[in-house]
Amino acid sequence: MSCNHGYSFRYPETCTFSCNHGYHRSEGSTSRTCQADRRWSGSAIRCCPNGYEYYQPSRFCYKAFNQEIDRSNYNDAAATCASEGGTLAMPSDAGINAFLLSLKNAGDFWFGLSDRGQEGRFVWANGVPLGHFNHWAPEEPNDHDGGEDCAHYWVDKGDRWNDNFCDKSMKFICQVAT
């Protein structure tokens, strides 16, 4: 992607853009031409880490850690996502939510939403408060036994959301920016 720094490129030179090792192209132009107005033709290339799937409307890459060996408590899952350069996934609208469900296999999965900071005030992994969209299971979140603060897909309730104990172990879904 060195052409991004290309003041040395002149009309009508063409540059080939590619993703770094370990990434694959999610959208954008692999060949762009320096135009007379000094702008590049086409659109900027966007790349996802290998193993991640791109969801164009959010412009994030997502991966469901579908193996039993991936099971982690909420903090460990968040740490794994951070080690990949991202966060736990944030299904902040119905489209993202449906996309995440298409990636996961059977079982309960953590995603990036909790009310650990202030009981009853759910906040996404990026610090943004939960908006008008949610997909809670009926009668959830219920803060059962006064200790459930982390949100997950609950397979027994049709993958609707539940708050659960953050130290429970389950699979999880990460997101990474392009």
Smaller CB separation from Ca ion, 100 or 166 = 166
Smaller CB separation from Ca ion, 61 or 130 = 130
Distance CA 73, CA 152 (A): 11
Quote the least distance from Cβ 174 to Ca ion, whole Å.
23
Q: Contact residues for Ca ion (CB under 5 A)?
A: 115, 140, 142-144, 148-149, 162-163
Smaller CB separation from Ca ion, 22 or 138 = 138
Phi, psi (5° rounding) for residue 114? -155, 165
Quote the least distance from Cβ 141 to Ca ion, whole Å.
5
Quote the least distance from Cβ 62 to Ca ion, whole Å.
24
Quote the least distance from Cβ 131 to Ca ion, whole Å.
18
Smaller CB separation from Ca ion, 13 or 167 = 167
